[in-house]
């Protein structure tokens, strides 16, 4: 149990376009989901905290108008990279925090989405 | 500012040797410390957390507030322990995780 999926796993888009990444908790409800960014050979950097039914909380230095986050249900959060540029190319990882039960309060991580902007 | 430091990018040992992956943190409050592991081609997963004080896969980690450290130890490394290990900190009453840069552990036969 406690599986988090991301879709797509890999996406290539042209500069100036927008791309949406989905994060789903498959077998538990997650009131809170987190979005991270990981550059090659670097650590995960928290971008934002996504709470179901409310606005996301962005970390300092992360442009909220560029990285749109929507957490419309207890099992789905989406990250939309708007007007993508090559410097947005990165590995984006989400995690979902369980609320109780078998998932507990641990954060479960998705497999990540590799975004390449050409 | 909250910060997690893992000084070693790569640690190579032979099977059966002891392993210690170092982690130091800076935080003025009472942090919660974690170790996460990422095996090849797999997602990040929780290995252990300091509040549970348990041993997972033979690994232990003790929080030393005086030295602000949370080193991960295993007395006898196994080949299947080869992976990327991340130390992470969660600040008071938040779920936000601050990760270190990670240490790649290679265990040779």
Per-residue model confidence as pLDDT tens digits over A57-71: 999 999 999 999 998
CB contact under 8 A, A46 and B97: yes
Residue in A39, A117, A45 with CA at minimum distance from that of residue A84: A117
Of the candidates B59, B61, B34, B36, the residue with the CA atom closest to the CA atom of residue B49: B34
Distance from CA of A84 to the nearest CA of B (A): 25
Nearest chain A CA: its distance from B65 CA (Å): 23
Q: What is the pLDDT along chain B (109 residues), one digit of tens a residue?
A: 789 999 999 999 999 999 999 999 998 888 889 999 999 989 999 999 887 777 789 999 989 989 999 999 999 999 999 999 999 998 766 778 999 999 999 999 9
- Is residue A103 very low, low, confident or very high in pLDDT (cuts 50, 70, 90)? low
**Whole-Å CA distances, A55 to A86, A102, B108:** 27, 27, 48
Q: Which of A42, A107, A111 sits opposite B95 (nearest CB)?
A: A107
- Determine, for residues B95 and A109 on separate chains, whether the beta-carbon distance falls below 8 Å: no
* Predicted local confidence at residue A101, as pLDDT: 58
Is A117 in contact with A66 (CB distance < 8 Å)? no
Instruction: For A36, name the nearest residue in chain B, comparing CA atoms only.
Output: B97
From the list A49, A106, A110, the residue facing B43 with the nearest CB is: A110
CB contact under 8 A, A44 and B99: yes
- CB-CB under 8 Å, B95 with A34: yes
Contact B45 A109 (CB under 8 A): yes
């Amino acid at each position: 149990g406690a599986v988090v999926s991301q879709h797509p796993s890999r996406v290539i888009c042209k500069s100036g376009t927008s791309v949406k990444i989905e994060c789903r908790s498959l077998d538990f409800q997650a009131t809170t989901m987190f979005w991270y960014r990981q550059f090659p050979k670097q650590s995960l950097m928290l971008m934002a905290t996504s709470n179901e039914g409310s606005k996301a909380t962005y970390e300092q230095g992360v442009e909220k108008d560029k990285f749109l986050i929507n957490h419309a249900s207890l099992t789905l959060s989406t990250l939309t990279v708007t007007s993508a540029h090559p410097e947005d190319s990165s590995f984006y990882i989400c995690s979902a925090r369980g609320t109780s039960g078998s998932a507990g309060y641990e954060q479960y991580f998705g497999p990540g989405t590799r975004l390449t902007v050409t | 500012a909250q910060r997690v430091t893992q000084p070693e990018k790569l640690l190579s040992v032979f099977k059966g040797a002891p392993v210690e992956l170092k982690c130091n943190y800076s935080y003025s409050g009472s942090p919660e410390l974690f170790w996460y592991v990422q095996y090849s081609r797999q997602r990040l997963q929780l290995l252990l957390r300091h509040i549970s004080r348990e041993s997972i896969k033979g690994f232990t980690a003790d929080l030393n507030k005086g030295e602000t450290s949370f080193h991960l130890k295993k007395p006898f490394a196994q080949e299947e322990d080869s992976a990327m290990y991340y130390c992470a900190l969660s600040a008071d009453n938040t779920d936000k995780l601050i990760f270190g840069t990670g240490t790649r552990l290679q265990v040779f036969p």
